[in-house]
């Protein structure tokens, strides 16, 4: 399985999502077209499972640059940035080999607009590619934003979901991912949100994000369960 996390907008949570998938699935390869990616410095992932290419290069299904050979039917997560409108070969070739693409969007105007533009481009050039939208960095919006722990009922989620569904083809699945400071620790500590949720002190703060990642994994077709 090849899972691509893609956004033309920075700061929406793309890399933490890709990193969390990687640390929850240690048999995965990690690939990126970001030359300054933090994935380069990850120590608990073998170097032969890290694939770094320039935006101008092509992703190929089995053999990549740097002499990295990817085993047949191996699983991979791709952290992908840039715009399909640009002449970057890495973007269309990565999408072409993907089984599913995750598009993170937060509740900022520029993020929503660029996120929808990203989805529209994918649907134009890759109409059969499965797309899952991840509504990221969700926070409660004032005292009247009451919804318990069901973040699909939050104001921010509803705004993102409504705009996506009004401006894209089909009834795309939109899943919530609440804001957590733990996302900053995923690459730095080389640990997933699920594992952070299991630490003796402070783990409770990560329980909801861990369960939300489980829902995302189920939608993708990965089997994980947080307790």
> For residue range 67-90, what is the model confidence (pLDDT) as tens digits?
555 766 789 999 999 888 777 889
152 pLDDT exceeds 50? yes
Domains in the chain, please, with CATH? 2-220 (3.40.50.300)
Burial-class residue 90 by CB neighbours within 10 Å (0-12, 13-18, 19+). buried
64 pLDDT exceeds 60? no
pLDDT (tens digit per residue) in 171-186: 999 999 998 887 878 8
Q: Are 59 and 97 in contact (CB under 8 A)?
A: yes
The pTM score is 0.90
Q: How confident is residue 170, by pLDDT bands cut at 50, 70 and 90?
A: confident
226 pLDDT exceeds 70? no
Structure tokens at 127: 């109409």
16: Cβ–Cβ under 8 A, 6 or more apart, which residues?
A: 183, 184, 186, 187
Of the two residues 24 and 142, the one the predictor is more confident about is 24
148 pLDDT exceeds 90? no
3-state helix/strand/coil string of 70-119: CCCCCCEEEEEECCCCCCCCHHHHHHHCCCEEEEEEECCHHHHHHHHHHH
Phi-psi group of 108: left, alpha or beta (phi > 0 → left; psi -120 to 50 → alpha; rest → beta): beta
Distance in angstroms (rounded) separating the CA atoms of residues 211 and 227: 8
User: What percent of the chain has pLDDT above 90?
Assistant: 51
């Amino acid at each position: 399985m090849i899972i691509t996390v893609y956004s033309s907008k920075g700061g929406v949570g793309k890399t933490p999502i890709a990193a969390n998938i990687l640390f929850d699935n240690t048999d995965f390869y990690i690939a990126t077209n970001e030359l300054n990616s933090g994935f380069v410095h990850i120590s608990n992932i073998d170097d032969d499972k890290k694939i770094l290419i320039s935006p101008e290069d092509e992703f190929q299904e089995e053999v990549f640059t740097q002499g990295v050979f990817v085993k047949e039917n191996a699983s991979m997560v791709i952290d992908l940035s840039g715009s399909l409108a640009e002449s970057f070969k890495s973007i269309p070739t990565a999408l072409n080999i993907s089984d599913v693409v995750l598009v993170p969007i937060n509740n900022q105007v520029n993020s929503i607009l660029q996120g929808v533009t990203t989805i529209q481009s994918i649907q134009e050039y890759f109409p059969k590619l499965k797309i899952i939208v991840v509504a990221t960095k969700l926070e409660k919006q004032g005292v009247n934003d009451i919804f318990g722990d069901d973040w699909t009922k939050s104001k921010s989620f509803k705004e993102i979901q409504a705009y996506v569904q009004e401006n894209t083809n089909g009834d795309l699945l939109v899943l919530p991912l609440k804001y957590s400071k733990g996302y900053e620790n995923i690459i730095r500590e080389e640990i997933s949100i699920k594992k952070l949720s299991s630490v003796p002190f402070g783990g409770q703060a990560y329980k909801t994000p861990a369960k939300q990642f489980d829902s995302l994994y189920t939608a993708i077709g990965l089997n994980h369960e947080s307790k």
